[in-house]
Structure 1
Amino acid sequence: FFTDSTRLVSHWKDLEKYKFHPYLSGSVHALPAIVKNARATATNKKYDLYFEKFRKWCIQNYFSYLPASVSSVALFLGGLIQQKVSVSVLEAYFYSINWQHKISLNINPCLDDFLTLILEGGKRTLGKPLNKKEPITKDILLKLVRHYTIDKHNLLFLRTCVLCLLGFSGFLRFSELANIRMCDLDFQSNFLEIKIPKSKTDLYRRGNSVVIAKTRNELCPVFWLRKYIALAGIIEKSDEFLFTAINLKKISGEYKATNKSKSLSYTRCREILRSALKDIGLDSSLYALHSLRSGGVSAAANNKVPDRFLKVHWRWATDRAKDGYIKDSIEQKLLVSLNLGL
């Protein structure tokens, strides 16, 4: 679609002529859904939610919301900045208003330079120091596995170990980790291949995969995954999710996996990780689910795995994203001053 708002309106009027065309009407009616697919489903839901709040604000204050005027959007954003909302919330409102005007082919106020300046000024006003979570390390994983696998038949504990080991070794995001189904796993003699049908960096759904080696040591992800699958009773090559709810059966006193057609939520997975870290004496507030991903890539980078292989395994969109998650060891940081010839 065009960036010039006047041409957008003209373009919509041209399309309206074909709404009742015997051969072209289907294409015209299909366009809104096609346009919506330019953004991920989660992004569309987010934009719809924020725009609905903006719509209600406009109605309360007798403003038009579609199309909205530059002045009404400016007042709305200014109010948000005065309320000291987070930068992410401010951006969500701005881009939701921008998106709704784009897909409705209305004159877009967000293309105005004045609103762009308000957004940038708001980001500077509301900006706070970045507080990144600590990466999970191999030593932490070792403590977790030794703590939780004393009872190798406790399904609840095994789920925690496998979730952490796969997240760490596969550099998996939460969305990738939680949505693994049994049919996505391909066990080979020396490695495991996990198909990633949907990924943040795979915008056109071409499909990705991650291979994890069978290390045959105390932290072998493949060994513990096999044990977990057998204990959970997950059917081979089925559509059942790997990580699901687990309940304690009162009669037998054993843990059983339930509702395998539904994966664990982000909140529940975060609770599992934080509870496990507390159990081994760590401050759980320093870590998040992304700590598994950043921990895995930091370990690989500090062990001098070539960048090309890191990018493939990590599934990065850019080098900037990659560098943002690597935490260099003190030995790596000292390489600079040690090689200055002093």
Structure 2
Amino acid sequence: MNTHAHDSIRAVQWTGTHLRLLDQRRLPHESVYLDLDTAPETAVAIRDMVVRGAPAIGVTAAYGVVLSARHAWTRDPAHWRDAMQADLDTLAASRPTAVNLFWALDHMRRLMDRLPDGVDPTAELLLEAERIHHDDIEGNRRMGELGAALIEPGKAVLTHCNTGSLATGGYGTALGVIRSAYAKGLIPHVFADETRPWLQGSRLTAWELVQDRIPVSLLCEGAAASLMREGRISWVIVGADRIAANGDAANKIGTYGLAILARHHGVRFMVVAPTTTIDMEAADGSAIPIEQRGTEEVLELAGKRVAADGAGAWNPAFDVTPAELIDAIVTEKGVVAQPDQENMALLMGAKT
């Protein structure tokens, strides 16, 4: 059985000369690709959510380093590392919560430090960015297999935000598990939260599933409790932007509430993310920075104000789900059941 049949989308591409991103702000009505030639352009694309999802942000940032190196070598080949510093800082400042961004930049920096002076670094950095991209896709497929193995056949699943090919190098994390499980005949249907205020569920996840011919129904976040009470789903399957050393997981706002609902209704809760998302320096979820975004995202819809004049808004982009509400964390290195500090350390090969 071909578990990769339901996998047709690549949102991050290297054309051979520049970076090409599918503008996710225009989906589902338009498929528009942006061609980027500089690191500052790449940082703006990350900040403004042309590309989003922690793994995709990391892959994009790695290609951003390549663009920076190419320009730095052209401007000042004798001091190309120094010439890249402002670009690297700009990339690092683009989104604060997604730890994959910082992992990718640190990884590329370490390679930069090893490269010889007097030689154009662009080719070697490009090879490494392409390796990061390839490894992300292969890791996602591995997670898809591991996560699908936890699912008993017969019931639908619920997902939140977008964790598919649009949010990664390809195939997806939580949506990769769903793709794999659907291909194996384990799940008949997918329910997707709209995911307000950016509507990643309705604009992106539903679009991906429709493209790959996987049956999907949208619901408002407020309908999730009723869906669970009716016994129609067996798992909530979500991604993560950062996972702390004890297994607390930061994901798109609304995930925490789903975990509470799932525990009450006897529905299991799965977090799917690569090990590059795990931050062993963050002892628990309280150490994870939570991005606060502009109030206009809540007060407006498609650029038009829908809230009463004079009303304010609170707009955290993420929340933290405590480890005790998570039944399994699925990574490319294995599955952590009932995550805690000891089990996370075993996965990461660290000492408790």
TM-score by shorter chain over 0.5: no
Q: Would you tell me which structure has more strand in proportion to its own residues?
A: 2
TM-score range, shorter chain: under 0.3
Structure with the larger helix share: 1
